[in-house]
């Protein structure tokens, strides 16, 4: 993986974040039209899981080449990477969770997908209008952003634990154990997906926004505007 943490300064236009897309390309485009998204100036960030389950995984993954789009690594992108390594256990699990499209590709096409997935950081931080926003796919088990960044970059078991939690964990959204979690210092807000919620769910200064579009529920798209509460800016498609 080329980058574990990426920092980006967004200086013009609006800032949006979208929940797990899972191949729901048409729904995403409908949402962008609904908010009058400006492809020349606005920025959209996806919280991972661009692929699997839906009908347009490749179209969604190819969005990472667009200048108006940024994404982080989700556990489904990681399964593409691990499956390409030939692990039959991972391949079976991936196929059972919406990855059949990947195995219908040629070996060269699979390699291209893996290369795209490896370009995605595990964590993204964006500076916007004098605020700092974080984006992680699944979970963050530390109550300070700088500690999280330090641990996710660490070598050995501690670093692996932090990276696995960031891609697969559900502790904070489930509040287990409750005494462990508080507001995350050093960051204004963190946006996550992975765990399907009925509505955008706030846990401390973390917002879980995967509302299960691929399961016939809703795709959540929201504008991040420092002058308005996150809950007031949700658009569902």
- Catalytically active residues are 76
Q: DSSP secondary-structure letter at 1?
A: -
Burial group, residue 203, by CB count within 10 angstroms (0-12, 13-18, 19+): middle
Indicate left, alpha or beta for 206 from its phi (over 0: left) and psi (-120 to 50: alpha): beta
CA 136 to centroid of chain Cα atoms: 6
Q: With the C-alpha atoms ordered 193, 194, 198, 203, is the resulting torsion angle positive or negative?
A: negative
Separation of alpha carbons 207 and 191, rounded Å: 5
Separation of alpha carbons 115 and 220, rounded Å: 27
Looking at the chain, list the stretches that DSSP marks H as alpha helix, in order from N- to C-terminal side.
Answer: 25-34, 57-61, 75-84, 88-94, 100-103, 107-117, 145-152, 156-168, 171-174
Please answer whether residues 135 and 190 qualify as being in contact, where contact means their C-beta atoms are separated by less than 8 angstroms. yes
């Amino acid at each position: 993986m080329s980058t574990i943490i990426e920092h980006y300064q967004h200086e013009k236009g609006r800032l949006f974040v979208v929940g797990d897309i899972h191949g729901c390309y048409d729904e995403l485009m409908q949402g962008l039209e609904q908010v009058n998204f400006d492809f020349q100036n606005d920025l959209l960030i996806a919280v991972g899981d661009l692929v699997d389950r839906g009908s347009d995984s490749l179209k969604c993954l190819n969005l990472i080449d667009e200048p108006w789009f940024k994404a982080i690594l989700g556990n489904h992108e990681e399964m593409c990477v691990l499956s390409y390594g030939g692990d039959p256990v991972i391949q079976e699990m991936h196929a059972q969770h919406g990855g059949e499209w990947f195995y219908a590709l040629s070996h060269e096409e699979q390699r291209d997908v893996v290369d795209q997935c490896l370009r995605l950081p595990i964590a993204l931080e964006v500076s916007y209008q004098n605020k700092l926003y974080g984006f992680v796919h699944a979970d963050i088990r530390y109550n300070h952003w700088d500690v999280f960044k330090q641990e996710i970059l660490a070598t050995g078991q501690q670093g692996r634990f932090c990276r696995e939690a960031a891609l697969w964990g559900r502790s904070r959204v489930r509040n287990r154990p409750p005494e462990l979690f508080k507001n995350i210092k050093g960051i204004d807000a963190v946006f996550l997906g992975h765990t399907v919620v009925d509505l955008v769910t706030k846990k401390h200064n973390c917002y879980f926004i995967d509302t299960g579009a691929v399961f016939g529920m809703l795709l959540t798209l929201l504008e991040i505007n420092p002058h308005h509460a996150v809950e007031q800016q949700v658009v569902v498609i």
